[in-house]
Amino acid sequence: MTDRKVITKDGSATYYSEEYGESYHSLSGAMEEADKKYAQVCGIGEREDVVILDICFGLGYNSAAAIDAFNGSSIRIVGLESYQGIIDEISRMGDEYPFKCHNIMKQIASEGNYEDEKTYAKLIMGDARETIKSLKKDSFDCVFLDPFSPNKCPELWTKEFFEKIYRVMKKGGVLTTYSCARIVRDNLTAAGFNVRDGPVVGRRGPGTVAVKDQA
Ligand SMILES: C[S@@+](CC[C@H](N)C(=O)[O-])C[C@H]1O[C@@H](n2cnc3c(N)ncnc32)[C@H](O)[C@@H]1O
C-alpha cells in the first residue's frame, strides 16, 4: 500500500491517501474525531444494545471508538469497505493503534468477522453502493458515514446512495458524518432524512446528523 502514516494533533496515527489526496481522518485528531463525531453522536455510552453500519470502515476507528465506549450488553457492527490495503494495515499497526479493542479489530481485519458474548462484527468488502444492497431493510440504529470528501468521492454522497442507506436504517435511526457541505445536507434531505448540525470538533465546521423519522 502506498498510503503513508501521519500523526494527528491528538497524538493518534492516521494515513494519507495518495489516490484521493486526503487523509483518512481529521488532522486535528483522528481518535477524537472517531469518538466525538461518530461514537458519541449515537449515544453509545447509554445504549443497552445497538446495531451499527460503519460505511467506509478504513482503519475501523469509528467502530473501535464505539466498542471501547459501549457499556451495554449487545453491540453488532457491519463494516463496508472497498480497499484491502487499508484493512491489512489494522493488523500491521502496533501500539499506535489508538483504541483498546485493537485485538478485536485485528481479528475483523484478518478473518472478516468477530464474535464474543457481547460483540459481533462483520466486514463486507466491495463497493458500498453495491454491498449495501445485501443488507436487510430496517436493520440499523446508527450509521457512521465516513467517505473521503464530496469533491474527491462524490459517488458516496448522492441522493441515490443515501436512499439505500435510509432503507436499511430503523425508524428513529441516526446517521452521523463529519461533513456539513451543502450538497451533502441537500441530498440527505432529498432522501428523506431530517438533518441537523452535529458536533464541532477541532477547527472544522460542525458535522451533520441525519435522522430517519419516518418508516
Ligand atoms: C475517510 S476514509 C475512512 C476512514 C475510516 N472510517 C477509518 O476509521 O479509518 C474513506 C474510506 O472509504 C473507502 N472507500 C472509498 N470508496 C469506497 C466505496 N465505493 N465503497 C466502500 N469504501 C470506499 C476508502 O478505501 C477509505 O478507507
Residue 201 has a pLDDT of 86
Please say if the pLDDT value at position 214 is more than 90. no
Which CATH fold topology does 30-211 show? Rossmann fold (3.40.50)
147 lines ligand 1 (CB under 6 A): yes
Residue 87 has a pLDDT of 97
Rounded (10°) CA dihedral 47, 91, 113, 103: -50
CA distance 24 to 45: 25
Instruction: Name the least confident of 92-96, 155-159, 167-171, 208-212.
Output: 92-96
61 lines ligand 1 (CB under 6 A): yes
29 lines ligand 1 (CB under 6 A): no
Average pLDDT in the chain: 96
The residue extents of the domains of the chain are: 30-211
**Closest CA to ligand 1's atom 5:** 58
Please say if the pLDDT value at position 202 is more than 80. no
Please say if the pLDDT value at position 205 is more than 90. no
Over residues 84-89, mean pLDDT: 96
Count of all residues that appear for the chain in the document: 215
Atom from ligand 1 closest to the CA of residue 155:
19
Residues 6+ apart with CB under 8 A from 122: 77, 78, 79, 108, 112, 113
User: What letter would DSSP give residue 39?
Assistant: I
CA of 86 to the centre of ligand 1 (A): 9
Please say if the pLDDT value at position 143 is more than 80. yes
Residue 36 has a pLDDT of 95
Please say if the pLDDT value at position 126 is more than 80. yes
**Closest CA to ligand 1's atom 19:** 127
Over residues 126-147, mean pLDDT: 98
149 lines ligand 1 (CB under 6 A): no
Best of 19, 77, 82, 151 for a ligand 1 pocket test (most atoms within 8 Å of beta carbon): 82
**Closest CA to ligand 1's atom 26:** 58
pLDDT band at 3 (very low <50, low <70, confident <90, very high): confident
Q: Are 209 and 175 in contact (CB under 8 A)?
A: yes
- Global pTM value: 0.97
| C-alpha pair distances (Å), 100 with each of 32, 97, 103, 180 | 14, 8, 8, 30
Please say if the pLDDT value at position 105 is more than 80. yes
Atom from ligand 1 closest to the CA of residue 34:
8
Please say if the pLDDT value at position 203 is more than 70. no
Residue 69 has a pLDDT of 97
Over residues 73-77, mean pLDDT: 98
Over residues 159-172, mean pLDDT: 98
Please say if the pLDDT value at position 2 is more than 90. no
Between 182 and 203, whose confidence is greater?
A: 182
CA of 54 to the centre of ligand 1 (A): 10
CA distance 14 to 156: 21
